[in-house]
């Protein structure tokens, strides 16, 4: 078939920039250097900033759109150039070079409170005096902007040593980045695995995380391309698996443990966290009601010979705190803040013990 520019541009109208929801053609993201030589097509994608977290993902989307809407015979793979309106500079240092410990927080299934545990663990570590970073890698359900009361915020960028870096937003002593800062919160994010993985890589590689004691990564639930991407991109110090005491949740937690322990991944398991371990009414702090079962994670930890890092009860304030953007770990002298303080202390001990035995 004969190729011509309008045919290519029409196909590219099906590609939308996640940050605005508008197609890349009407957004004038296609530079005037579109060239066609036989079946070979080349052009450039132009972004406002060189560290745009969607750049690599959009390249893949453009390739797929042309192959789908024009012809699978088009030679487009590797022929799209990424440009920015600002000068491009080579990175001056390795990603996360200033981070002491990198910890992945995972769950076998959704709905077990993994993000709540991640947010409060980060705050609890910061309250203990450590320098903490938190990456919300839950691409399809980013919740950290809500939990930290930062829904209207957008990260700034700064030119450092010739390269423009994303600056994480800092609150409660925690440096934070989330894909939720870059997309419309009212629209569903429909991405293939490669697109999501590339966006996460850019939030790691192109962000100025600086010197940190602990870098926490709130992973998506289950097992996916993102988990493999992070394992390949980073040297993880360890992983934490969150579950509830329910048998259906524990079945998935087993899979999560097994994933990190496979030969291809081999990430040390720091331990299990049992969330929603029991219900305690605020007015009756000594009472415990085991509404989801008793000691499910404790028994699994003993079976798998891994530490039980904490048992976190359900108290009404934990939901209220997440909704108002003030993690419950901020509050002193409460059942929950004490539980998260103990979790933070156990994580610190587990990592330091592992480092001493290397």
Residue with tokens 């979790």, as numbered in its chain: 343
Residue 314: which pLDDT band, with cuts at 50, 70 and 90?
Answer: confident
CB within 8 Å of 270: residues ≥ 6 apart: 103, 238, 239, 240, 307, 309, 347, 350, 351, 354
DSSP string of 154-223, one letter each residue = --EEEEETTEEEEE-EEETTEEEEEGGGTS-TTS-----HHHHHHHHHHHHHTB---SEEEEEEEPPSS-
Instruction: Assess whether pLDDT exceeds 90 at residue 247.
Output: no
DSSP H/E element including 80: strand 80-84
pLDDT attached to residue 259: 82
Q: DSSP 3-state assignment of 257?
A: helix
pLDDT attached to residue 189: 56
Mean pLDDT across the stretch 252-279?
Answer: 85
Q: Are the CB atoms for 121 and 172 separated by under 8 Å?
A: no
Instruction: Assess whether pLDDT exceeds 80 at residue 50.
Output: no
Q: Can you state the angle between helices 296-304 and 247-261, rounded to 10 degrees?
A: 30
Higher pLDDT, residue 298 or 201: 298
The alpha carbon of residue 157 and the mean position of all alpha carbons in its chain are separated, in whole angstroms, by 19
Q: Which of 19, 18, 20, 15 is nearest to 30 (CA)?
A: 15
pLDDT attached to residue 18: 83
DSSP string of 258-327, one letter each residue = HHHHSTTT---EEEEEEEEEEE--TT-TT--B-TT-SSHHHHHHHHHT--EEEEEEE-HHHHHHHHHT--
pTM: 0.72
Mean pLDDT across the stretch 32-52?
Answer: 85
Residue 257: which pLDDT band, with cuts at 50, 70 and 90?
Answer: confident
pLDDT attached to residue 2: 79
pLDDT attached to residue 67: 94
Structure tokens belonging to residue 277:
């371990």
Structure tokens belonging to residue 65:
């759109």
Structure tokens belonging to residue 218:
């709130």
Phi, psi of 345, rounded to the nearest 5 degrees: -60, -40
Residue 358: which pLDDT band, with cuts at 50, 70 and 90?
Answer: low
All domains in the chain, ordered by first residue = 5-84 (3.30.300.130), 99-356 (3.40.50.300)
């Amino acid at each position: 078939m004969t190729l011509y520019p309008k045919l290519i541009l029409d196909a590219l109208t099906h590609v939308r920039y996640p940050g605005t929801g508008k197609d890349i053609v009407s957004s004038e993201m296609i530079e005037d250097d579109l060239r066609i030589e036989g079946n070979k097509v080349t052009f450039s994608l132009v972004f406002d900033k060189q560290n745009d977290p969607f750049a690599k993902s959009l390249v893949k989307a453009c390739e797929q759109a042309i192959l789908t809407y024009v012809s699978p015979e088009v030679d487009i793979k590797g022929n799209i150039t990424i440009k920015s309106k600002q000068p491009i500079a080579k990175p001056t240092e390795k990603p996360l070079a200033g981070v002491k410990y990198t910890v992945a927080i995972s769950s076998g299934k959704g709905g077990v409170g993994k993000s709540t545990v991640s947010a409060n663990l980060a705050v609890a570590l910061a309250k203990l005096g450590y320098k903490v970073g938190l990456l919300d890698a839950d691409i399809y359900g980013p919740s950290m902007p809500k939990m930290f009361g930062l829904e209207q915020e957008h990260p700034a960028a700064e030119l450092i040593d010739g390269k423009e870096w994303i600056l994480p937003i800092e609150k409660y002593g925690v440096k934070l980045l989330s894909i939720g800062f870059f997309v419309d919160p009212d629209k569903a994010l429909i991405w293939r695995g490669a697109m999501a993985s590339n966006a996460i890589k850019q939030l790691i590689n192109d962000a100025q995380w600086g010197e940190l004691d602990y870098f926490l990564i709130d992973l998506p639930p289950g097992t996916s391309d993102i988990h493999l991407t992070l394992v390949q991109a980073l040297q993880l110090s360890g992983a934490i698996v969150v579950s509830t005491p329910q048998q259906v949740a524990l079945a998935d937690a087993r899979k999560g443990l097994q994933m990190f322990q496979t030969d291809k991944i081999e990430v040390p398991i720091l331990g299990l966290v049992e969330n929603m371990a029991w219900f305690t009414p605020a007015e009756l702090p000594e009472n415990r009601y085991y509404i989801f079962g008793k000691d499910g994670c404790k028994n699994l930890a003993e079976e798998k010979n891994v530490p039980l890092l904490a048992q976190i009860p359900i108290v009404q304030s934990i939901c209220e705190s997440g909704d108002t953007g003030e993690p419950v770990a901020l509050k002193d002298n409460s059942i929950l803040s004490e539980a998260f303080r103990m979790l933070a202390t156990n994580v610190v001990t587990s990592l330091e013990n592992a480092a001493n035995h290397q």
